[in-house]
A and B are shown apart, each in its own frame.
Chain A
Amino acid sequence: MTTLNHKTRQWSYFSLYFIWIALFVIAPVALIIYQSFFGLDHQLTLANYKNYLSSAVYLKMTLNSFVYAFLITLITLVISYPTAYFLTKLKHRQLWILLIILPTWINLLLKAYAFIGIFSQTGAVNHFLTFMGIGPQQILFTNTSFVLVAAYIQIPFMILPIYNSLVDIDPAVIQASHDLGANNFQTLWRVIFPISINGVRSGVQAVFIPSLSLFMITRLIGGNRVITLGTAIEEHFLTTMNWGMGSTIGVILILIMFLTMTLTSGTRKAGTRKNHGKA
């Protein structure tokens, strides 16, 4: 009687949640894999994969996406780590960390839009360059501006996990390190950094995967001179209507995602921030 009761209770908890898992987790992944085996003529085929693997364009695009995602992650990390570190030293840390979060609440489209103004021929940066006597430069629609804007948008998502791992460090550990004769640098490199490595891992996951699949910024800031896997998926689904090929690239992206997760997940559980709103 009790076991039966227990079972029914479990099921009542689970019913809606299971429907969700079936409908919005399993079904979409299954469908995208299924779709990737269909050509334009709605025939079952491996042509999309053959096309992908034999096309210099797609392979180069994959490589490019990797390079860009790597650069974006690296820049983000270099800027974020010291920020997170110094934040832990502040008095009203809770408040400051909220101020780091605040920009993520501004829609990223608006931020991209701001950069169109800042980087344009007559924008703030070029005003400054002209003032310095260098003269206006082409900034918008360059690879550099694309990487910078993407990194800008990702910064808070890198700071947070690193900050969380740094703030957990017991001050006694640092004290102990000093007592044992380590200088500041040694303490940072030998003690603090290893402890915060899990935060860095989460941050890298949270930034690298979405960076692989950016699509909106490639257009607004990169002027479509930068094409990532995300751009290609978006084009195939919404412009050229070749869902089969779009799904194929999607499946490849999913594979890369799992690979990245496996490589970066140490002891800690998978990424805690949704890669949200960043494509």
Chain B
Amino acid sequence: MKRFGIFAAIILIVSALLGLGVHALNKASGQDNASKTLTIFNWGDYIDPALITKFEKETGYQVKYETFDSNEAMFTKIQQGGTAYDIAIPSDYMIEKMHKASLLLPLDPKKIKGLQNIEPQFLNQSFDPNNRYSVPYFWGTLGIIYNDQYVKAGEIDHWSDLWAPKWQNKLMLVDSARDIMGMALVESGYSMNSKSPQQLRQAADQLNRLAPNVKAVVADEIKMYMIAGEAPVAVTWSGEAAEMLANNDHLHYVVPSEGSNLWFDNIVMPKTAVHKKAAYAFINFMLRPENAAQNAQYIGYATPNKKAQALLPKAVREDKQFYPDSQTMKNLEVYQDLGPKWVEVYNDLFLEFKMHN
């Protein structure tokens, strides 16, 4: 008995030391609670850390930066309300969904400075009319990335090219029901927001015919596999593509001109926000052209801030891969929140596709 008591005591002491260690390390990386803080909830590695430092210096706020890796995960966290997030950066359809779930605070237009810097075509989108709840942060597309060691230029320009028998077992797809079903819908000539069972069935059948070409349906992994040359072709988002291009000169990104997805990641203030003044300060800080440009250069995504675009090197702002021409832009579609029932239909069809061999 005594021995177990001593043993238990040792375990508790070690645990206490470990706990202290965690606490000390968290404190060192600035995660403690000060009153003048701003808690940002963002995707991993989605802001230039230098900008956070700059913001902290300029305003005196201390930034707590937490990350999520899917819109759904973020939604759950904010709904649970365990942490006082002041700022979050969800994507388009999720903003609509959060609004419907009353998880967003309306933004006061008087407190926002620099919205006119944003290109008008990126404002007033269907998911947030008049930008009552959100301010554009980055935008991008869904497209095809290929390796020119295996694919000749012009060989893959359109979605239909992916169905060619030549690419048997060569294609990687992002693990996202909405995107892959959307691709099949466009390929079948329909809207990416289709709510027609016939259209969806037809798209799903078309998608099932793609199965022999598909090597894997993964997500973040695509980045490493494309860079390593494991696969010649993949369907992915422009943001991911930018990072791959930076690491492998043989890679190219195309947005099929017949249509694709246009997505946004916008800054919102969730219901959990406590430090509203700091949140506005951050929104205004990110709207400033020099900051938006610096962030775009660091992340490699396309900025909606036209004054920031002007500050970018010519090679970047005229890169058709990431700033498609107006013709293509016209055919891009933003996802709408389809509601749980239709999302389930999309998911079921996508699952059917994954099971299709």
Contact = CB atoms under 8 A, between A and B. Distances in A.
Interface of A: 40-41, 55, 57, 60-61, 64, 120-122, 138, 140-141, 219-220, 223-225, 227, 232, 235, 238-242
B24 to A, nearest CB: 26
B216 A223 contact: yes
Given A120-B230, A223-B218, A225-B217, A242 B354 contact: no
Interface residues of B, number: 28
A269 B184 CA distance: 52
Nearest to A232: B351
A205 B16 CA distance: 39
Instruction: Point out which of A120, A224, A238 has the most chain B C-beta atoms below 10 A from its C-beta.
Output: A224
Nearest to B346: A240
B352 interface: yes
B217 A223 contact: yes
Contact of A242 (B172, B218, B344): B344
Instruction: Point out which of A55, A219, A223 has the most chain B C-beta atoms below 10 A from its C-beta.
Output: A223
24 contacts: A40-B341, A40-B344, A57-B348, A57-B355, A60-B355, A121-B230, A122-B228, A140-B216, A219-B218, A223-B215, A223-B218, A224-B217, A224-B218, A225-B215, A225-B354, A225-B357, A227-B351, A227-B355, A235-B347, A238-B73, A239-B70, A239-B72, A240-B343, A240-B347
Interface of B: 70, 72-73, 76, 169, 172, 175, 177, 214-218, 221, 228-230, 340-341, 343-344, 347-348, 351-352, 354-355, 357
B147 to A, nearest CB: 12
A120 B228 contact: yes
A141 B214 CA distance: 10
A242 B216 CA distance: 24
B354 A224 contact: yes
A53 to B, nearest CB: 15
A224 B344 contact: no
Contact of A235 (B76, B172, B218, B351): B351
Nearest to B169: A138
Given A40-B344, A239-B72, A240-B347, A141 B216 contact: yes
Nearest to A56: B352
Given A61-B355, A242-B347, A141 B228 contact: no
Instruction: Point out which of B221, B354, B357 has the most chain A C-beta atoms below 10 A from its C-beta.
Output: B354
A227 B354 contact: yes
Contacts of A122: 228-230
Contacts of A64: 355
Nearest to A245: B344
Nearest to B173: A224
Closest A-B pairs by Cβ, 8 of them = A223-B216, A224-B217, A141-B216, A40-B340, A240-B347, A57-B352, A121-B230, A227-B355
A240 B355 contact: no
B216 A225 contact: yes
A194 B14 CA distance: 48
A58 B63 CA distance: 46
Contacts of A232: 351
A219 B174 CA distance: 12
Nearest to B353: A57
Given A239-B72, A240-B177, 4 more contacts: A64-B355, A224-B354, A225-B354, A235-B347
A120 B229 CA distance: 10
A127 to B, nearest CB: 14
Nearest to A138: B169
Nearest to B217: A224
A140 B216 CA distance: 9
B216 A224 contact: yes
A244 to B, nearest CB: 10
B27 to A, nearest CB: 28
A46 to B, nearest CB: 16
A13 B72 CA distance: 43
A224 B215 CA distance: 9
Contacts of B228: 120-122
B101 to A, nearest CB: 12
A160 B107 CA distance: 62
Given A40-B344, A120-B230, A121-B230, A225 B351 contact: no
A138 B215 contact: yes
A61 B357 CA distance: 12
A15 to B, nearest CB: 19
Contacts of A57: 348, 351-352, 355
Nearest to B176: A239
B160 to A, nearest CB: 22
A225 B72 contact: no
B100 to A, nearest CB: 14
A240 B70 CA distance: 11
Contacts of A223: 172, 215-218
Contacts of B344: 40, 240, 242
A241 B357 CA distance: 26
Contacts of B214: 225
A141 B215 contact: yes
Nearest to A242: B344
Contacts of A227: 351, 354-355
A77 B352 CA distance: 32
Nearest to B351: A57
Contacts of A220: 221
A111 to B, nearest CB: 17
B229 A121 contact: yes
Contacts of B351: 57, 227, 232, 235
